[in-house]
């Protein structure tokens, strides 16, 4: 005896607009998934920022002028991005509660000699924490690189920072060279710095 075939299902037609919406949602969900998964060094590579930020206008991207800013430094004084025109700049958004940020801080400290030799300005820009808490963490870790304080998260909003750590590399002409979200291995830091040195013309 032959088994009866199941009834044929009706054909469903999906318009282009609906298909585009489905694809867009899938891409967003995929991005969120990878941002929240563990990767380098057996731990998380990013800590996702809560909220969407308050930035307006076009988001910074490679090839475009980097938004200017000025922030207080943990040790006193002010870091003004405009003061470093003609010099490559590396900005690292971080926080003490961010595991992947903490994991790469020692690697950044190790690179201090190279950064000074290559004349690359570096700023570890803390994401809205209490300065006293930041100072305790920095002292305990023995970190000597410049620590900026984004107290009201204005700079993070301006740069559309959605996850920690986020690395912004700016060439000597003040143009965004590259943006890297997530922790960087030492070899990746060195490779990016080599490219950054040659970007925007030579001394």
What is the predicted pLDDT for the residue at 46? Answer: 56
How far apart are the C-alpha atoms of 104 and 187, rounded to whole Å? 12
Place of tokens 């595991």: 99
Neighbours of 22 (CB within 10 A): 11
Least confident of 28-32, 125-129, 158-162: 28-32
**β-bridge partners, 58:** none
pLDDT exceeds cutoff 80 at 26? no
User: Contact 142/109 with Cβ under 8 angstroms?
Assistant: yes
More confident residue, 191 or 60: 191
Which of helix, strand or coil describes residue 43?
coil
Neighbours of 173 (CB within 10 A): 14
User: Contact 79/111 with Cβ under 8 angstroms?
Assistant: no
pLDDT exceeds cutoff 80 at 202? no
pLDDT exceeds cutoff 80 at 30? no
What is the predicted pLDDT for the residue at 60? Answer: 86
Share of the chain above pLDDT 90, in %: 64
User: Contact 183/105 with Cβ under 8 angstroms?
Assistant: no
Residue 197's pLDDT band (cuts 50, 70, 90):
confident
Structural domains in the chain, sorted by start? 17-197 (3.40.30.10)
pLDDT exceeds cutoff 90 at 34? no
Neighbours of 178 (CB within 10 A): 16
What is the predicted pLDDT for the residue at 168? Answer: 97
pLDDT exceeds cutoff 80 at 90? yes
pTM above 0.85, yes or no: no
pLDDT exceeds cutoff 60 at 184? yes
Average pLDDT, the chain: 80
pLDDT by residue (tens digit) across 124-144?
A: 999 999 999 999 999 999 999
Please measure the distance between the N-terminal and C-terminal CA atoms of the chain and give it in whole angstroms: 86
How far apart are the C-alpha atoms of 45 and 186, rounded to whole Å? 14
Place of tokens 């809205």: 128
């Amino acid at each position: 005896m032959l088994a009866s075939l199941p009834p044929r299902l009706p054909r469903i037609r999906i318009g282009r607009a609906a298909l585009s919406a489905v694809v867009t949602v899938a891409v967003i969900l995929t991005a969120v998934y990878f941002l929240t998964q563990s990767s380098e060094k057996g731990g998380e590579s990013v800590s996702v920022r809560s909220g969407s930020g308050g930035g307006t206008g076009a988001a910074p991207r490679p090839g475009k002028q980097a938004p200017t800013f000025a922030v207080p430094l943990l040790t006193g004084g002010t870091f003004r991005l405009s003061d470093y025109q003609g010099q490559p700049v590396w900005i690292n958004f971080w926080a003490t509660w961010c595991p992947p940020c903490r994991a790469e801080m020692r690697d950044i400290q190790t690179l201090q000699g190279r950064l000074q030799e290559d004349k690359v300005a570096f700023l570890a820009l803390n994401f809205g924490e209490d300065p006293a808490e930041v100072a305790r963490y920095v002292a305990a870790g023995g970190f000597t690189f410049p620590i900026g304080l984004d107290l009201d998260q204005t700079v993070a909003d301006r740069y559309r920072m959605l996850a920690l750590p986020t690395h912004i590399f700016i060439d000597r002409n003040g143009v965004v060279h590259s943006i890297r979200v997530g922790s960087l291995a030492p070899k990746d830091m060195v490779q990016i710095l080599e490219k950054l040195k040659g970007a925007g013309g030579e001394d």
